[in-house]
Chains A and B, each alone.
Chain A
Amino acid sequence: MPPRLPTGCSAQLVNCLDRSSLCTTQRAATAAGRPSWPSPATQQSSAFSTTAPRDLTINQRRFWKWARKGLGKTLRSPKPGQTNYMPSGSNSSRADVPFPTNPAFRSSPVLSDEARERIWENVMKKGLPLKAVSARHGVDMRRVAAVIRLKELEKAWEAQGKPMAIPYSKAVLSMVPTHDCAPDSPPFEAINEMHVHSYTQQQIFLPTSESRHFTRADAAKAFGEKILPPEKKMWVPELLQLEKDIASGVGIQEARSRFLQATAKSELEMAEKHAKKDAIANEENVRVNTDRFQFRFEGISVDSSGKTGRHIRGVGWRYGVPHNDRKPGAVKIPTKVE
């Protein structure tokens, strides 16, 4: 336990701050011919040093010279709408290299507030499907969903009159490269990047007849039962049909409207699937309100405890098995917050 300050110490601290009083105490002590070891009171007051600060080191002096007269001077007045990264040596600075000695590090742009507002309006006001908005602006589906969730939260807070850190947000966004998702701007990121399953990284010798039309779906099946071909795995598979339509001579407008319909349909199907799942869950998970509490029932299966009744996924306190918090070496620090 750290030593505590004794009571009445605040008065002493006030004394210490007054340098003249400190000196008089010291002088008085010496005059009285007492040993140089200070009394507890003086010891505490001498915790504040009166030594002059150290001179700047050579590197510090070089830094200040650089900051006042050298390249650092140009960083003082950042140009609006541009990043204020350090110039890389003799060459002029590049807009996306924040660390001049590490040119391999490129800072990627973030969505500006206008871009986020545009995405929110497209989905929530115009009612466009997420997939279509994602494809239109070249923003990942998950990012589109996150933008909408956060924008909704922001608008809810605005309605509640909660204070928001807008100057902070503006300051941060002015320092990093941003992307505004304007209709004519290039895509923000690659939206159809897929996770490479480790099963697909092996070489397989699969004998098949020459006459067989071996498709990507067949290849996926050869790698594993649950492996999907890329056209099913991609985030916006409807883009394939769009490209096929355009290649086969359908007009761009027509192809785009077909794409919109297809994405809307897939979104509707997904919503229905979720609604069905929720309905089943609601049927099992009854909620009973009493005066003070709500009782939440959750349906389970007694079979989850297995033949012996001791399976780890079994419901309830297990019989004949030490509880987790009694096991040696078990980590008891929670790994998530609900």
Chain B
Amino acid sequence: MVVKIRLARFGRSNSPFYNIVVTHARTARGSRPLEVLGTYDPVPKKDTYDPDSKPHKDIKLDVTRAKYWIGVGAQPTDTAHRILAMAGIMKPKVRQGTPVTPIRMAH
């Protein structure tokens, strides 16, 4: 079976929180994974003492284990790929063509 690196949603309603997990592809989202590589908190936060700063998102990641799993053929999902690319583990996926900005429709 394919081993995937993907996000597993935890948290409460309207306050998502993700575990970055290594798991078999056909197992349920909330089931026990092979390994928890880290976490991803998608809620942007501001620094308390620096309110002008750019909002940040916190990611915890065990880079060594992530590299190992990639090395043995685990397949990251697109979202997990983006996170691993930011951490410098994967090559970022290049988009085909220039990104199109959505046109705002007039009411």
**How far is A295 from B61 in the complex, measured between Cα atoms in Å?**
12
Q: Please, which residues of chain A bring their CB within 8 A of the CB of B37?
A: 302
Give B12 Cβ to nearest chain A Cβ, in Å: 8
Question: Could you give, for residues 290-303 of chain A, a 1 whenever the CB lies within 8 Å of some chain B CB and a 0 otherwise?
Answer: 00111111111110
Q: Select one of B32, B44, B48, B60 contacting A293, CB under 8 A.
A: B44
Q: Is the CB of B57 within 8 A of A315?
A: no
Q: Which of B8, B19, B57 has the most CB of A within 10 A?
A: B57
Cβ–Cβ contact A317 & B17, under 8 A: yes
In angstroms, Cα B47 to Cα A337, docked, is 12
Chain A, residues 315-328, CB within 8 Å of chain B (1/0): the string is 11101100000000
What 0/1 pattern do residues 234 to 266 of A give for CB contact below 8 A with B? 000000000000000000000000000000000
Within 8 A of A (CB), among B69-106: 83, 86-88
Is there an interface contact between B62 and A293, defined as CB atoms closer than 8 Å? Answer: no
- B82 to chain A minimum Cβ distance, whole angstroms, is 10
Cα of A302 to Cα of B17 in the assembled complex, Å:
18
With A316-B36, A337-B48 as contacts: A298 and B55 at CB distance below 8 Å:
no
How many angstroms between the C-alpha atoms of A337 and B88 in the bound complex?
33
Once the chains bind, are B36 and A315 in contact (CB under 8 Å)?
yes
Answer whether residue A288 sits at the interface, using C-beta atoms and an 8 A cutoff. yes
By the criterion CB–CB under 8 Å, are B19 and A294 in contact? no
Q: Mark B43-62, 1 if CB is under 8 A from A, else 0.
A: 01000100001111111111
- Indicate if the CB atoms of B48 and A295 lie closer than 8 Å: no
**B60 contacts A294, CB within 8 Å?**
no
Contact indicator A317/B10 (Cβ below 8 Å): yes
A98→B22 CA distance, assembly (Å) = 67
Contact across chains for B58 and A296 when beta carbons are under 8 A apart = yes
Known: A286-B88, A316-B38. A300 touches B54 (CB 8 A): no
Which of B32, B36, B54 is within 8 Å of A302, CB to CB? B36
* A320–B32 CB distance below 8 A: yes
Known: A299-B61, A299-B62, A314-B36. A289 touches B54 (CB 8 A): yes
Contact residue among A284, A295, A300, A309 (Cβ-Cβ distance under 8 Å from B38): A300
B67 within 8 Å of A (CB atoms): no
Interface membership of A210, Cβ < 8 A: no
Whether A300 lies near B55 (C-beta < 8 A) is: no
Point out the residue from B10, B58, B86 that lies within 8 Å of A298, measured CB to CB: B58
Smallest CB-CB separation from A286: which chain B residue? Answer: B87
Partner of A295, one of B20, B36, B57: B57
Chain A residue contacts of B58, Cβ below 8 A: 296, 298
The reply to whether B61 and A294 contact each other, CB–CB distance below 8 Å, is no
Instruction: Kindly identify which residue among B8, B39, B87 contacts A315, using a CB–CB cutoff of 8 Å.
Output: B39
CB distance from B27 to the nearest CB of A (A): 12
Q: How far is the CA of A296 from the CA of B57 in the complex (A)?
A: 6
Nearest-CB residue, chain A, relative to B54: A294
Interface mask (B11-40 → A, CB under 8 Å = 1, otherwise 0) = 100000101100000000000110111110
Q: How far is the CB of A139 from chain B (nearest CB, A)?
A: 27
Q: Which 3 A-B pairs have the closest CB atoms?
A: A317-B10, A316-B19, A294-B56
What residues make up the interface of A, taking CB atoms closer than 8 Å to B?
Answer: 284, 286-289, 292-302, 305, 309, 314-317, 319-320, 337-338
The 29 sampled A-B contact pairs (Cβ below 8 Å) are A284-B63, A287-B56, A288-B86, A292-B44, A293-B44, A293-B54, A294-B54, A294-B55, A294-B56, A295-B83, A295-B86, A297-B59, A297-B61, A297-B87, A298-B59, A300-B38, A300-B62, A302-B37, A302-B62, A309-B36, A315-B39, A316-B19, A316-B36, A316-B38, A316-B60, A317-B8, A317-B17, A319-B32, A337-B48
Which residues of B come within 8 Å of A, CB atoms?
8, 10-11, 17, 19-20, 32-33, 35-39, 44, 48, 53-63, 65, 83, 86-88
- A293-B44, A316-B10 known; 7 new pairs, CB 8 Å cut-off, are A286-B86, A293-B55, A295-B83, A297-B86, A300-B60, A316-B38, A319-B33
